[in-house]
Structure 1
Amino acid sequence: MSTPTRITHLIAGEAWSGTAERTSEVFNPATGEVTGVLDLASTDLVGEVVATARQAWEGWADTSLAKRTQVLFTFRELLERNKKEIAALITAEHGKVLDDALGEVTRGLEVAEFACGIPHLLRGGFSENASTNVDVYSMRQPLGVVAVISPFNFPAMVPMWFIPIAIACGNAVVLKPSEKDPSAAIAIAKLWSEAGLPAGVMNVVNGDKEAVDALLTHPDIKAVSFVGSTPIAHYVYDTGTAHGKRVQALGGAKNHMLVLPDADLDLAADAAVNSGFGSAGERCMAISALVAVEPIADELVEKIKDRMGKLRTGDGTKGCDMGPLVTRAHRDKVAGYVDAGLEQGATLVVDGRDDEFDGGADGFFLGPTLFDNVGRDMTIYQDEIFGPVLSVVRVQSYDEGLELINANPYGNGTAIFTNDGGAARRFQRQVEVGMVGVNVPIPVPVSYYSFGGWKNSLFGDTHAHGMEGVHFFTRGKVVTSRWLDPSHGGLNLGFPQNT
C-alpha cells in the first residue's frame, strides 16, 4: 500500500506551507484505500485567504476586458490540453468511470468558452439625448471577493459553472471544494496561474463545516455560490443572506421521467438506464423516479431489467459501465434505502447488493437497483437517495402523472417521453420544474443558458452560468450624464424635467 499524498490549500498560486491542526482522509472508492491526507482550514486561515483575495481583486477589477479575455482564452486552451489528466483525478477520488469523468470536464470547459465572450456579455446600454443634452448609460461592475462551495459528485464541472464567469466579470474567487475529492479542483486552479491570472485572484481552501461557516460569515465575501443537498443549501442561503451576502444555493432533487403509452419504449428504457445509473446515480439530474402511464409499465420494466443485466460495475479505470459510490458510509446509506423499499412493500426487480463487482474487495460498490410498484409514501420515493436506485411508479393517466410530479417538494429536472407533440408542449408548460427534457432524460442546459431548479431545489432566484451567472457576479449601475454647452448658463431651481 502506497503512502497517502498530502493535499493542501492553494493560496495566491502556491501550495500552503503551514501545518494543519486537523486533517481528513481521501479514498480511492474502487479499492477502499486511503490515497490522500487533506489539510482542513481553520477560521483564521480562511480569513488570511480572503484577505489575500481582497488585495488581488483591486488590481484585477481594474484590468481591461481585453487582458481578462486573453487570460480566459489561455485557460480554456490549458484545460482542453489537460482534461484527460483531470478526468483521471476525478475517477481516482470520486469513482466515476473515465468516460463520464471526461464528459464532466468537457461540460465545465463549455462554461469557460462562454466566459471568453465577456466583452460582449458585459456590454451596457446607451441612450443619447434621453433628455435635452442628457445621455443615460448602464454598466455592470464586479462584486469583489466571491466564494464557491462545490459538492463531491462533480468536483470539476460544478466549480467551473461559476469560476470562469466570476473571474471574467472581474471578481476574485475563494473555492472550497468537497473534502471527499478535492484534487481535480486544485489542478484546475493551478491552470489559472499558468494562464496568467494574477496571484491571489484564484484560491482554494480545503475544509469542512468550519471553513464553510467562515466563508459564509466573513464580511469581505460578497457572494456565495453553492451546490449540494437541500438541507445544507437551505442553511447556506439563510446564513449567507443573514450576513449580507448575495447567495445562489442549488439543492437536491427527485427527478421524474413521465413515459406516455405512445412513447418509443426502447428509447425510454435506454434513457432510464443511462440517466438513472450514470455516475452511480450521484447526479442532481439523475432520473430516480420513472412514472409509467398504464398499460405500458410491465413491458417497460422488462426492457429496463434486460438492459441492466448487461451493465458491469467496478473500477472506473477498467472500462466498466458504472463505478463505486464515493464513500463507504454513503454506500451503506444507499443500501439501507434498498432495505427500506423491501420492508415498505415495493417490488425489488433487480437487487444491486447481490452484484459481482470488477474492483477491489474493499471498494464502495453497489450495483444498479430497480424497484417496481413504488408508492408515494415510501422513503425510496420521497427521499433523494443519490445512488443507483431507480423507482417505477405506475399511474393511470397523464394528468395523474403530472399531479404526482408537481406535488413533489423538489423541482430540479424532469422529462417526458412521448411521440405526441401536443402532449409534450402541454407538459413543458404545466410542469412545475426548472429544467425540462422532451425525449431527453438529463436536460442539463448548455452553458449559454442557465442551470437551476424550482421549489426546494433552489434557494435564491439566480441560476448558474449563462446570463444569469453574469448578472449574479456583477452589480448594475446607471449613469445619467450632461456635458453643458459653453454657451449655457444661469440658475434654475426648478425640478429637472424630461424635456
Structure 2
Amino acid sequence: MRRISHFIDGAAVSEPGRLGDVYAPTIGEVQAQVELAEVGMLDRAVASAKAAQVGWAATNPQRRARVMFAYKALIEQHMDELAELLSSEHGKVVSDAKGDVQRGLEVVEFACGVPHLMKGEYTEGAGPGIDVYSMRQPLGVVAGITPFNFPAMIPLWMSSVAIACGNAFILKPSERDPSVPVRLAELMIEAGLPKGVLNVVHGDKVIVDAICDHPDIKAVSFVGSSDIANYVYQRAAANGKRAQCMGGAKNHGIVLPDADLDQTVADMLGAAYGSAGERCMALPVVVPVGEQTAETLRAKLIEGIETLKVGVSTDADAHYGPVVSAQHKARIEDYIQMAVDEGSELVVDGRGFSLQGYEDGYFLAPTFLDRVTPDMKSYQEEIFGPVLQMVRAETFEEAVNLATQHQYGNGVALFTRNGDAARRFASTVEVGMVGINVPIPVPVAYHSFGGWKRSGFGDMDQYGMDGIRFYTRLKKVTQRWPSGGSVVDQSFVIPTMK
C-alpha cells in the first residue's frame, strides 16, 4: 500500500511509528497510509528550516520572485496531475479540484510581486539633518496548519506569501488528503527553492501542539473549525507567536423581492452544493425577504435541485462528488435529523442516496430544509455538507440582522437589483466578506481573505497585503549624520518635531 512520508530538507523522510488511513471517498476504501509524526520529526524539520532560512532571507527579493515565477509555471504544467490526485483523496470533482489549485495559484502570482510588496518608506528631513525610513524583514521560521477541504489552495495561500517574504515554512496539512501538499513542495524545490526552506510534516494534535509550542517557530497560520482555531490562536499567542486562525462559517444568501430569481437560484445551487458543501465560503442558508419571494424561490430551488447530479470525481457531468469520510457523512446526516426534530420542514432529503457501482462511497444527495428558525441548533452550527436551509424574513432589516447576529461572520451575499439596498447592506452587515450578487465572495489574491467573530481569530487576514504584513516585521530607522565634530545641543526631554 502507498505510504505518504514527510518532506524535509528537499526529500522524503520516513520514520517508524503511527500511521493514519487515507481513504478514497468514491469507493470507501483505504488507498494509502500517511505517517503521523512525533515531536522529534518536527524538531528535525524546524532545524532544517532554520538553517536554510538565513541564506534565503539574504537572497534579494527579485531572485526570490524568480523562484515564484518558475513555481507558477510548474503548477500550471502539472495542473491535471494535481487535480486528479486531489480528487482521489478529497472526493471533489476534477473540475472543482482544478479550481482549488487555480485559486491557490493566483496567490502565487501575487507573491511574484514581492520586490514591490516588501518596499519600506522613506522620509528625508524629518528633523534637522534627520531622515527616517522603514524596512520589512522576514520573521524566520513560520508554520501553517491547513484543512482537508482545500488541500492545494490554502497551503498555497500561506506558503507562497511566507516564502516570498524570505521566511522558511513548515506545513502541517490535513492527514485526510496529504498527497497534494507534498507534491506542491516537490514542485517548489524543482522551481529553485533551496532545500529546507519548505518542509511538510504530517500529523495530528501532537504536531499541532508542538508547532504552537516550538520556540523557533515565530508565527502560525491556521484554517479549520472555530473551536480548533480558537485553541491554536490561544496556545500560539501564549507562547509569544503571531497567529492568524480562520474558523468555521454559516454564510447567508439574502434574497430581496427584486432579485433576478433565475440567476439567484443558479448561484445558490452552486454555492450551497458545490464541493458537497465542504467549503467555508459555501452558502448553506438562504434568506428570502417576504412570503411571495420565499414561495417563488422555494419552487425554483426544488426544480433546480432535481437537475443536480451526484457522481464520482472523474465524472465530467457530475456537479459534486462524495464527502470526505464516512464519519463526516454520518455527522451531516445527524444534523439533517436534528433539523427535522427541531421542526424544520424537510423538503428534499438527500440521505439514503446510493450510486450504482459505488455503494460504499460517501455520497449524499442534496438536502433542502425550509421554515428553519434562528433558535435551532442546526441553524446556529456549521453543517459543512450538501444541506441548504431556508430562513424566512419579513423585512430587509430582519434579514441583515440574521447574518449580523450569527456567531459566525465569514461571508454573506445579497441578491438584488437595488443599488441603495446593496450599499446599505455592504456598509452595515457585520460580516467580514460581502458579496453583492456574488454567491461566493472570496476576495481576489491582491486583496485579503478573512472573516469576523468566530470565523477569524487574530488581527490580520490571509494573503494580499495582510499576508505580507503577517509574515514580516517592520523595522524603523531614524538616522542623523552630523557634519561637525562639536556637540550642537544637549537635551534630556523626549525628541519632538516642535
TM range (shorter): over 0.9
Contact 1:89 1:184 in 2 (8 A): yes
Q: Which residue of structure 1 aligns with residue 343 of structure 2?
A: 345
Give the conservation status (yes or no) of the 8 Å contact 1:165–1:465: yes
1:458 aligns to 2:487 (yes or no): no
- 8 Å contact from structure 2 (residues 46, 170) kept in 1: yes
The reply on whether 1:387 has 2:385 as its aligned counterpart is yes
Q: Report the alpha carbon displacement of residue 488 of structure 1 after superposing the two structures with TM.
A: 4.6
**SS in structure 2 of the partner of residue 352 of structure 1:** coil
Report the Cα offset of residue 358 of structure 1.
Answer: 5.4
Question: 1:125: which partner in 2?
Answer: 121
Match in the other structure for 1:14: 11
Alignment of 1:30-429 (within 5 A): 30-294=26-290, 295-319=292-316, 320-357=318-355, 360-429=358-427
**2:413–2:439 Cα contact (<8 Å) kept:** yes
Aligned letter for 2:315? K
Letter in 2 for 1:318: D
Structure 2: distance between partners of 1:155 and 1:199: 22
Q: Distance in 1 between matches of 2:354 and 2:67?
A: 48
Q: Counterpart of 2:116 in structure 1: which amino acid?
A: H
Partner Cα distance (2:247, 2:236) in 1? 15
Q: Secondary structure at the match of 1:224?
A: strand
1:493 CA displacement:
2.5
Deviation (angstroms), 1:491:
5.8
Is 344-353 or 455-464 further displaced after alignment? Answer: 344-353
Q: For residues 301 and 198 of structure 1, what CA distance do their matches in structure 2 show?
A: 55
Counterpart of 2:482 in structure 1 is: 484
Deviation at 1:20, TM superposition (A): 2.7
Contact residue 313 and residue 356 of structure 1 kept, 8 A: no
Q: 1:278 to 1:422 in 2, by over 3 A?
A: same
Q: Take 1:498 and 1:256, find their aligned partners in 2: how far apart are those partners?
A: 51
Q: Deviations over 1:58-92 (max 9, x none)?
A: 11111111211111111111111111111111100
1:19 deviates by 2.5
469-478 or 312-321, larger mean C-alpha shift: 312-321
Provide Cα deviations, 1:151-177, integer angstroms capped at 9, x if missing partner: 000000011111111001100000000
Distance 1:482 1:269, change over 3 A: same
Q: Which amino acid aligns with 1:399?
A: E
Q: Which whole-Å CA distance do the structure 1 matches of 2:26 and 2:143 have between them?
A: 31
1:354 Cα shift?
Answer: 3.8
Q: What's the TM-score, normalizing by structure 1?
A: 0.97
Mapped partners of 2:284, 2:184: distance in 1? 31
The structure-2 alpha-carbon separation of the partners of 1:69 and 1:344, relative to structure 1 and needing over 3 Å to count, comes to same
* RMSD over equivalenced CA pairs, Å: 1.2
Identity, % of aligned pairs?
A: 51
Residue by residue, what CA displacement relative to the aligned partner does 1:21-72 show, whole Å, maximum 9, x if unpaired?
1001000100012111100110111111111111111111111112111111
Structure 2 CA distance, aligned partners of 1:387 and 1:351?
Answer: 13
Distance in structure 2 (CA, Å) of the matches to 1:491 and 1:482: 13
Instruction: Give me the TM-score of the superposition, normalised by structure 2.
Output: 0.97
- The one-letter code sitting in structure 1 at the alignment partner of 2:467 is G
The equivalent of 1:437 in structure 2 is 435
1: CA distance, partners of 2:131 / 2:485: 17
Q: CA deviation at 1:395?
A: 1.0
Task: State the SS of the aligned residue for 2:78.
Answer: helix
Deviation at 1:196, TM superposition (A): 0.7
- SS of structure 2 residue aligned to 1:84: helix
Amino acid at match of 2:299: E
In 1, distance between residues paired with 2:116 and 2:73?
A: 20
Q: Is the 8 A contact 1:26 1:180 kept in 2?
A: yes
Q: Which runs of 4+ in 1 moved over 4 A?
A: none
Alignment partners' CA distance in 2, 1:448 and 1:114: 6
Return the alpha-carbon distance in structure 1 between the equivalents of residues 367 and 355 of structure 2. 14
Is the 1:314–1:358 Cα contact (8 Å) retained in structure 2? no
Contact 2:67 2:191 in 1 (8 A): yes
Maintained 8 Å contact 2:62/2:114: no
Cα distance, 1:491–1:483 mapped onto 2, change above 3 Å: closer
Following the alignment from structure 2 to structure 1, what is the Cα–Cα distance between the partners of residues 332 and 418?
36
What is the alpha-carbon distance in structure 2 between the residues aligned to residue 13 and residue 81 of structure 1? 20
Whole-Å separation in 1 of the counterparts to 2:356 and 2:61? 50
Structure 1 CA distance, aligned partners of 2:315 and 2:496? 74
1:355: how far off? 3.3
1:329 positional shift: 0.3
Distance 1:490 1:143 in 2: 38
- Matches of 1:349 and 1:309 in 2, distance apart? 12
Confirm or deny: 8 A CA contact 1:313 1:358 kept in the other structure: no
- Opposite residue 172 of structure 1, the aligned amino acid is A
Provide Cα deviations, 1:429-455, integer angstroms capped at 9, x if missing partner: 110000000001000000000000011
| 8 Å Cα contact 1:30-1:359 kept in structure 2 | no
Q: Matched residue of 2:442: which SS?
A: coil
Find the aligned partners of 1:367 and 1:491 in 2 and give their Cα distance.
Answer: 81
After superposing the two structures, state which structure 1 stretch, 105-114 or 358-367, moved more: 358-367
Over residues 392-438 of structure 1, what are the superposed CA-to-partner deviations in whole Å (9 max), with x where a residue is unaligned? 01111101111111110110000000111100101001100000000
For 2:385 and 2:16, the matched residues in 1 are separated by: 33
CA contact (8 A) 2:137 2:165 kept: yes
Match of 2:307, as an amino acid?
K
Q: Is 1:27–1:33's contact at 8 Å kept on the other side of the alignment?
A: yes
Number of equivalent positions: 494
Q: What SS does the corresponding residue of 2:33 show, helix, strand or coil?
A: strand
Distance 1:358 1:164, change over 3 A: farther
